[in-house]
Amino acid sequence: MSKLFVISGSSGVGKGTIINKLMTKHPELKLSVSCTTRAKRDGEQEGVNYFYLKRDEFENCVKNNEFLEWAEFSGNYYGTKKMFVETCLKLGQYLILEIDTKGALNVKRIMPEAVLIFIAPPSIEELEHRLRGRNTETEEAIQKRLASIKLEIENSKKFDYKIINDTVDNAVMKLEEIISANI
Ligand code: 5GP
């Protein structure tokens, strides 16, 4: 039995779409809001998608031990505040964390009841295609993200579940099955 579900997947794998659909269908689930130092993308909102911090602000939170986990990813910091997770769990909410695989494994070490789910692309070529199609990043940034894929796939071997994102509906259905089997 768990109240904490951690979902990871390589960038561009479509996990944002999958998670949005899951959250719309299940208002009883709560999506954790992480902190990041990366720039806000079009349409993103402070406190909804992320809490946007300057590098020194983020580093101060690290020094003060405020993060449950944090990682540097593609040159930016990302982290989950302990306080955010503790408050949600105290309120009895089912919490979804959408973080990278390294962060997910760190969460599992601290909170072994967390259920780790990896969303994999049907193929690496397909993933590269989606990443470029998004058109939000420079070639250099895309190359960095592609380079991290291998590591993500390696880390995901230690996850509890793996979902191949063939179609969004299928992936959402599998996520629902995993969640209901573990709550
Ligand atoms: P993006 O910049 O596309 O929003 O996210 C890039 C990566 O950072 C994704 O793999 C996402 O899962 C991860 N990420 C987002 N928030 C966190 C967090 O709080 N901690 C960690 N470790 N990774 C995060």
86-128 pLDDT tens trace:
999 999 999 999 999 999 999 999 999 999 999 998 887 877 8
Contact 13, 130 (CB under 8 A): yes
Rounded CA-CA distance 77/87 in Å is 23
Contact 163, 179 (CB under 8 A): no
The CA-to-CA distance between both ends of the chain, in Å, stands at 5
CATH number of 3-181: 3.40.50.300
Segment (H or E) for 94: strand 94-98
136-145 pLDDT tens trace:
778 888 887 7
How many of the other CB atoms lie within 10 Å of CB of 127?
22
For residue 99, report the distance from its CA to the centre of ligand 1, in Å.
5
Q: Is 7 left (phi over 0), alpha (psi -120 to 50) or beta?
A: beta
For residue 170, report the distance from its CA to the centre of ligand 1, in Å.
23
Report helix angle 139-156 to 101-110, nearest 10.
40
CA-proximal residue: ligand 1, atom 21 (nearest):
99
Partners of 4 in the β-ladder: 95
pLDDT given at position 40: 97
pLDDT by 10-residue block (mean), the chain, 183 residues = 89 84 96 97 96 98 98 92 95 95 95 96 80 81 80 92 93 96 93
Partners of 35 in the β-ladder: 51, 79
Helices (H), the chain: 15-25, 55-63, 82-90, 101-110, 124-134, 139-156, 168-182
For residue 61, report the distance from its CA to the centre of ligand 1, in Å.
17
Q: Report the residue among 36, 61, 155, 156 best suited for mutation to probe ligand 1: largest number of ligand atoms under 8 A from its CB.
A: 36
Distances 76 to 87, 94, 121, 144 between C-alpha atoms, Å:
26, 28, 23, 12
Please name which of 121, 72, 61, 126 lies closest in space to residue 99, comparing C-alpha atoms. 72
Q: Any idea which residue has 């408050």 for tokens? A: 87
Domain coordinates of the chain in residue numbers?
Answer: 3-181
CA-proximal residue: ligand 1, atom 19 (nearest):
79
For residue 78, report the distance from its CA to the centre of ligand 1, in Å.
6
pLDDT given at position 149: 81
Note if the pTM is more than 0.75. yes
pLDDT given at position 11: 65
